Chains A and B, each alone.
Chain A
Amino acid sequence: MATYNYVEPTNSNLVCCICRAPFVDPVTTQACSHTFCRGCISEALEHSLQCPVDRLPLTPEDLTSAGPLIRSLVDELLVSCPNNDCPHVCQRDLLQGHLDACEFLIVDCPEQSCHQMVVRKDAVNGACIHSAVICSECYAEVAMSEYEAHSSTCPDSACSCEHCATEISKSTIELHGETCERAPVVCTHAPNGCSWKGERRLRDGHISSCPYEAIKGFFIIHKDTTAALKEENALLQAKIDALQGHLRATTRDLQVAKAALGPWYTNAVNRTEAGLPIHHPPRSRAPTSASLNPATSPQPPLPGPRASISTLGSDAPNPAPASVTPTHVNATPGPSNTSHDWRAHSSRPSPNISHNWDPSSLTARSIARDVVAPIDLGTSLEGSLHGLRESMVTLSTTVDSVGRRSEIALTNETVRLNEEVMSVRAHLHGLRMQVHAIMMDRNTQVTGRVDEGGGITEGAWIPTRFSQVPGQPQIPLSITKL
């Protein structure tokens, strides 16, 4: 016996290191005391005459049977029967005894003419199980080996009704159960609540006295009504579902629209209230712009944001040029100004210009603020866009006019400055001429004096000579030496 099916894992000390299975007929080497199966070590020695574990020289004569302790340990290992379907488990040394009697051992069919195999337990009665037999009930041909299975399911086999004890065939028993007089049944009004139970033959007697029988007509009507109501209910339920879906879709759309509109979105309920605080800011801003810009005429109280756009768009550009133009006229110096005035002029124009330009620029800024900011949330988005477009047009016109104005002002200023520069140049020329004349005069005097032989009084003379010239700026001393 070469293979065993060990039921449990084996202690590794009982395993042959050549076949890795528990020892079978264990032998031990005399020299090194290693144990192997007899079959394994004999084969190994045919290949190489040395111990597989430590490679010491070894011959078959050096092997002795292992001690009884090892033999009994491996013989007592539990193995299962190798035959299919056999559940037998026993000690290894007892397996051979079991195999001799195992019912699941495959043997030849006892019938000489049959060449098939059969498990031993089916061969004990000496008959060939492969030969066909005829079912005594349904007269079908069935193999002997399948006869038992067939007879339990044969439709024609007889059985008795469990209620009336009548003998009937298996195939008709279900049919009989529906009509059997003694079969237990419930009242026909059981669905309505009657709790009567009894044999079928007694039911007719019960029904004549059944309280539910009296109101049989009501049950029919009731049933119809309930069915109609149920149907209607289902219809309504479907409608509700559809409407809920619609509502959900609409809510989603509304939220999307709300998100898209942003601050434009106001509820119909609080739209009128929301209008008030928005009307407020321009009204509070109006006085500040008026105080900053005294040149502009005080604005009338604004009736509403829409009105403020139109009033500012039309009014604001008008006062600004009015305030600018006169100052320009004042500031522009005449070309015929005397030389005495130019010093004062040099400082005057710049503050004047800044004074005149500041308010106008502020006005422009306040216009811009008032035109854009008061978006009327009371109107529709379209109306607001229209209003915004209008104010945009106004704004561009304003910017245009302001640009033109500033251009005119710049031209005026440039002309004025040019003229002033010209006059200053003329002055300067006059002065140069004067100084030249004086220098010439003095040179002639000095040369005359030097010729007389006196250079000592020169220092004292110059101041007195210069002080006699009226309206002349003090000339530094260094210039005299030129």
Chain B
Amino acid sequence: MASISARRLSKELKEIMNEGCPVGITLLKAEDFVSWQFTIQVMGESLYKDEIFTLLFRFDRDYPISSPAVQFVTVDGKVSPVHPHVYSNGHICASILGSEWSPVLSVISVCVTLQSMLASCKKKERPADNDRYVRHAPDNPKKTQWHYDDDTV
């Protein structure tokens, strides 16, 4: 019998296929129920005009009870956006991906949240502790103990 996460993800995938993604988000790869890839682009006037980023989702068996591991892809010539909450290795410091995750959220809602996070950015800069974090960061961003200190962006 298919696991809960597979059933839930197959429902989400069917919805994406039927209704399409929101503007600026396209499904790049969803061949299994382990990892999906999306491209994300900030629409309208913003600091990230005409930049396209790739998001990687990794799901474990407990999805949607536990959050998916979400990060920007930084290999194959792709880069992570320069943003105060995005590290240069693609890891994202966002509460909804950690303690604030709720099973009600879905892949698409995470994409939209990150899109609006980029859109509301005022200044393109890396997080203050970027170099230190990147040097010691684990492969999976879920293993990082995030300290959410800024609610404004």
If A52-B104, A53-B102, A55-B102 touch, whether A44 touches B7 (CB-CB below 8 Å) is no
Partner-binding segment picked from A18-26, A98-106, A226-234, A311-319: A18-26
Distance, CA A2 to CA B1, complexed state (A): 10
Residues of chain A contacted by B90 (CB below 8 angstroms): none
Task: Give the interface size bracket for B toward A.
Answer: 10 to 19
Q: Which of B1, B7, B62 contacts A19 (CB 8 A)?
A: B7
CB–CB A18/B1 < 8 A = no
Interface size on A, residues (CB 8 A): 17
A18 to B103 CA separation, bound complex (whole angstroms): 5
Contact between A18 and B104, CB atoms less than 8 A apart: yes
Which residues on the A side are within 8 Å of B103 (C-beta)?
A: 17-18, 40, 44, 52
In the complex, chain B residues 1-42 whose Cβ is within 8 Å of any chain A Cβ: 1-2, 4, 7-8, 11-12
| Distance in Å: Cβ of A383 to nearest Cβ of chain B | 77
Interface 1/0s, chain A 4-21, versus B by CB < 8 A?
Answer: 000000000000011111
Q: A3-B1, A52-B103, A55-B100 are in contact. Are A20 and B12 (CB under 8 A)?
A: yes
Q: In whole angstroms, what is the CA distance A47 to B4 when docked?
A: 15
Cα distance, A40 to B4, chains bound together (Å): 10
A85 CB–B CB distance under 8 Å: no
Is there contact, CB below 8 Å, between B100 and A18?
no
| A18 near B64: Cβ-Cβ < 8 Å | yes
What is the chain B residue whose CB lies nearest that of A18? B103
1/0 per residue, CB under 8 A from A, across B95-138: the answer is 00001111110000000000000000000000000000000000
Residues of A within 8 A of B102 (CB): 50, 52-53, 55
Known: A43-B65, A47-B66. A21 touches B104 (CB 8 A): no
CB neighbours (8 Å) of A52 from chain B are 102-104
Contact digits for A35-53, partner B, Cβ 8 Å, 1 yes 0 no: 0000010011011101011
Find out whether the CB atom of A21 lies under 8 angstroms from the CB atom of B65. no
Residues of chain A with a CB closer than 8 A to B65's CB: 18, 40, 43-44, 46-47
C-alpha gap A53/B104 in the complex (Å): 6
Which of B11, B62, B102 has the most C-beta atoms of chain A within 10 angstroms of its own C-beta? B102
What are the residues of chain A within 8 A of B64 when measuring CB–CB?
A: 18-19
Residues of A within 8 A of B12 (CB): 20
Do residues A20 and B1 form an inter-chain contact, with CB atoms below 8 A?
Answer: no
The 3 residue pairs across chains A and B that have the minimum distance between CB atoms? A52-B102, A18-B103, A20-B11
- Identify the A interface with B (CB < 8 A): 2-3, 17-21, 40, 43-44, 46-48, 50, 52-53, 55
4 other A-B residue contacts (CB within 8 Å) besides A3-B1, A3-B2:
A47-B65, A48-B99, A50-B102, A55-B102
